[in-house]
Structure 1
């Protein structure tokens, strides 16, 4: 005997399968959006304010000392200009994070902000490496240094660095950076790049060229400078007081600090996740952890925008003196304005009191 209800049962199973399969395969990489939409805009607003102030101040000092420019100043100037360019892209990124990883500004602006972001990253790494090499020749090979240090050579090196940076970043303009998702349009997020063939190998190569090799060069320069200073101090204790030596060691120490704080967490996150992807397909929980880690390590990497002016502070002669002079002048102007305002207010109050006394009749009657 046949069972008539069989057809409806099949229909129910089909409908259930259609609804459950997508939900099973879906992995929400933005589960942390409620926290991120508060923290990330605050973090990036801090970078924007401090970055504009610090790099703007550095640019003012550079302009005032433009006649005394040397190779160290030139590398630092390019670093500052890269940071100022980067701050122009921050308002849209702040809005993006505040909207819960939603980009309402279109694909063109998304590509442009991504280009600016990567320009700042690669330019920062390369010019910090140039500064370290510059300090290395200043201390370890001072006789050769006079020839290499010439401003003409430094200009050519800066042009080459910018050519290298643009050759690394301009291909991004032909790559789609935004992606339409269920609740949002994301911009410059890692999942948007996953369709690129051999992505893990590309990112590992980028980490090698953009982080590991520059870090090895900087550490090599630091070790050679340290050995040279130790040897020189042993032979002649008076050389310990040399301004060049002290400036060189301070510059490279601070460059290493910037590398460790700003660039290391991001590149470690990328390297370990790409190695995982080459071995197996990461679980949803692993992908979520990686995405969350990227958002906060990228913030740390962008924080170099605020720390770069301190490199200029250590590397360039007279910078501290100029900064203190500018700040003292501003404080003096502010104090003078406050005193003048208080004096005018006091004079006005005394005048009003005097007029009130004169206007009162002597007998106390109207």
Structure 2
């Protein structure tokens, strides 16, 4: 993760390898081309003008993500803070940190939208450009690690409840979350060194300030892939495979009678957690890391232009999917946490009660039915 500033720039995250009019030269020379000018010219032809596609994709995605991500995550934080009895639980602490990460990332989206609406011209301060790049990767990898912590926590709660009570204390959970913030924040500091650059006479953001080596970038990509994605994903797969085995065994031993009680509710919450976290990894995180690696291999290995250009566009699409994790996580809070759903119902009931007192008896009865 510490070297991903070069990695993200060279994989054309924000269109760093091509100009708005298609006349700029390629910023770097891949390993396969070496010093061969003919090979370099042929490779430069692969990086044709793609700004229109890129800007449309990012603008459409961020216009959808910003209001949903901001409102849902701020609302989730408010609900968690209002849960005085659950606020100190380990899972609630992790989810609050996850909502804080997603909410912070959503605040950078208006800045990105301003940039794309202006056709790739950055008129804002340099430090805001750096903060936008930094915020994306901090959100990406804190989300991965917090989801991994939730998975480990659920596995301990189901398979080893006594050990879960001993290890998953509020203080220890908070310290682990602070460690995640510190680790990802420090590892992502190279992104802060890349600010506004001049291209074609205009100030640009999300573009490299100097050429870099594709071979080094490929190595850095695999370091980030291993530590930032594969290791957490492998941890989740192991936890969930054991969790599913335990839930299946319990279901077979107890039959259907347990599904109506507290054990049945715990089982459903575990299934919801497994489904939501797995879907987030498969939809948001896996495509981005795979396509990013393939694109680097295409450039370093001198693959054909058609494949290279297709992978460039795929990087744009998968980056949009990676950014969408900020709107999927609130669904995780709602479907895997009963107290969160109850708090949402109470908030809705209070709002309706304030609008008209005649609804109060009916809503109170509905709340009692929902909690039974």
Match of 1:41 in 2: 59
> What is the CA distance between 1:146 and its match in structure 2?
1.1
Q: Does 1:73 align with 2:92?
A: yes
User: Mapping of 1:326-341 within 5 angstroms?
Assistant: 326-330=347-351
In structure 2, which of residues 312, 315, 318 is the aligned counterpart of residue 297 of structure 1? Answer: 318
Alpha-carbon separation, structure 2, partners of 1:106 and 1:296: 27
In structure 2, which of residues 209, 212, 217 is the aligned counterpart of residue 195 of structure 1? Answer: 212
31-40 or 110-119: bigger deviation: 31-40
Residues 30 and 61 (structure 1 numbering): CA distance in 2 closer, same or farther, change over 3 Å?
farther
Match of 1:270 in 2: 292
CA contact (8 A) 1:72 1:316 kept: no
Residues 27 and 58 (structure 1 numbering): CA distance in 2 closer, same or farther, change over 3 Å?
same
More helix by share: 1
CA contact (8 A) 1:36 1:97 kept: no
Alpha-carbon separation, structure 2, partners of 1:227 and 1:252: 13
Residues 30 and 310 (structure 1 numbering): CA distance in 2 closer, same or farther, change over 3 Å?
farther
> What is the CA distance between 1:119 and its match in structure 2?
0.8
Structure 1: runs of 5 or more not aligned: 1-20, 337-366
- TM-superposition CA deviations, 1:115-167 (whole Å, max 9, x none): 11111011100000000000000111112111112112111111111121112
Match of 1:60 in 2: 78
> What is the CA distance between 1:90 and its match in structure 2?
0.7
Match of 1:313 in 2: 334
Structure 2: runs of 5 or more not aligned: 1-37, 358-372
> What is the CA distance between 1:240 and its match in structure 2?
4.0
Alpha-carbon separation, structure 2, partners of 1:271 and 1:93: 24
CA contact (8 A) 1:86 1:116 kept: yes
> What is the CA distance between 1:320 and its match in structure 2?
1.0
* Corresponding pairs, count: 313
> What is the CA distance between 1:284 and its match in structure 2?
4.8
CA contact (8 A) 2:70 2:107 kept: no
Alpha-carbon separation, structure 2, partners of 1:214 and 1:181: 38
CA contact (8 A) 2:147 2:277 kept: yes
In structure 2, which of residues 112, 119, 122 is the aligned counterpart of residue 103 of structure 1? Answer: 122
RMSD between aligned residues:
2.6
> What is the CA distance between 1:194 and its match in structure 2?
5.4
Runs of 4+ with deviation above 4 angstroms: 21-30, 191-194, 282-287, 331-336
Match of 1:3 in 2: none
